[in-house]
Amino acid sequence: MECRPPVREVEADREHGDLVGITGCFCAIAETGSLMLLSGQATFASAALLPETHVAVVLRSRIVAGLEDAFALVRSERGELPRATNIISGPSRTGDIEQTIVLGAHGPYRVHVILVDEA
């Protein structure tokens, strides 16, 4: 499966906020149900952080047992850690506002994962 960088129309983004962001991920972590996204030229971190809904496409072969395994995979494939690593473990939530849980305050309201078998 080949992942290409998204084509962006900056003016359209300023006028209309994106409602859905679709990304791949470096790997998924079974222990916590988390997604690991790495920074780089071929990634667009805002697609996972700014829209109301984040949809991540995950290859089954990229599911690792735990967080330690995820970082070991990064080091074995990349040699060093990237500038930024985002670990996403579900919809954004906060209790800062009037001590009430609010979804989507600092990121997406919803996170969906599509598991794909390699062909």
What is the per-residue pLDDT across 31-64, written as a single tens digit (0 to 9) for each?
999 999 998 877 777 888 788 899 999 999 999 9
DSSP letter (8 states) at residue 71: H
* Cα 13 from Cα 36, distance rounded (Å): 25
Contact 25, 50 (CB under 8 A): no
Q: Do residues 55 and 114 lie in contact, with contact meaning Cβ atoms separated by under 8 Å?
A: yes
Instruction: Give me the pLDDT at residue 2, please.
Output: 45
| CA 73 to mean position of chain CA atoms | 17
Q: What is the rounded CA–CA span in Å between residue 59 and residue 119?
A: 10
Name the CATH superfamily housing domain 16-116. Answer: NagB/RpiA/CoA transferase-like (3.40.50.10420)
Mean pLDDT of the chain: 82
Report domain extents, the chain: 16-116
Q: What is the pLDDT of residues 75-91, one digit of tens each?
A: 999 998 889 999 998 87
Task: Place 17 in a pLDDT band, splitting at 50, 70 and 90.
Answer: low
Identify the band that residue 1 occupies on the pLDDT scale cut at 50, 70 and 90: very low
